[in-house]
Amino acid sequence: MEKRTLVTIVGLAALVCSACGASPTQPTTANRFAIRGIVSGYEGAALQGAILAVIDGVNKGKSVVTDAQGRYGFTDLEPGGLTVQASAVDYATTTRPVTLTADTTVDFQLRVLLAQIAAASDTLLFVGNPNGTFSAQGQAINTGDGCAAELTGTANLVDKNLILVATLLWSMPPTQILRPGDRYTYEFCCLTRDQATTAARFNASFRWVTVPCT
């Protein structure tokens, strides 16, 4: 009877000691990192007010704004892959991929949005006027990514032998803005019947100023 009791007590003691010696698993906290840098624009000038945003990954949705020196900083970011987007008014938006395993410096130099004006067609449309003269109509198109104003143009009309028939000038109203992809129909007046019928082709040149699209 005593021997049976002793074995039972020893077994319980071993079980209790085993529980007391176990080490609970401690949760680990992932390291947090920072991304800092400078945003510059035209001719390397610092860009104040540029917006930096994380657009994917576990840090998606975080954003900051540059200071007067063009500096920005993200802090407390989780490690991993992400993409940082930089944007500013009148500049092309730029993105940079980052694999974040330590504090990282990422600088941006943004490209200015520029208008680019070209002839939308290599032919002109001639329209008869009541007084017997003719007007010539053409189109200019903004193929750039900025807005244009103060747009003017010159067209040299030549015959089939490339001999100059007429030089025509035009201008867009000073308050009008031509946005990216927009077309402007310009008109020349006035051509004689001989000029209109002799002109076989034209070459156009344009002048404009890139302005904010707002």
Q: Is 199 helix (H, G, I), strand (E, B) or coil?
A: coil
% of the chain residues with pLDDT over 70: 86
pLDDT surpasses 60 at 42: yes
CA 89/CA 67 separation, integer angstroms: 15
DSSP annotation of 112 reads B
Domain 33-109 fold is Immunoglobulin-like (2.60.40)
| Secondary structure E strands in the chain | 33-40, 51-54, 63-65, 71-77, 80-87, 94-100, 104-105, 108-109, 117-119, 125-128, 134-142, 147-158, 164-171, 183-191, 201-211
pTM: 0.69
Per-residue confidence band for 30, with pLDDT thresholds at 50, 70 and 90: low
The average confidence (pLDDT) of the chain is 87
* Topology given in CATH for the domain delimited by 117-211: Immunoglobulin-like (2.60.40)
Do 33-109 and 117-211 fold alike per CATH?
A: yes
Give SS3 for 24: coil
CB atoms near residue 117 (< 10 Å)? 22
Domain boundaries, the chain: 33-109, 117-211
Compute CA distances 39 → 42, 93, 101, whole Å: 11, 12, 22
Give the closest residue to 148 by CA, choosing from 119, 172, 124, 120. 172
Across 31-35, 117-121, 154-158, 198-202, least confident range: 198-202
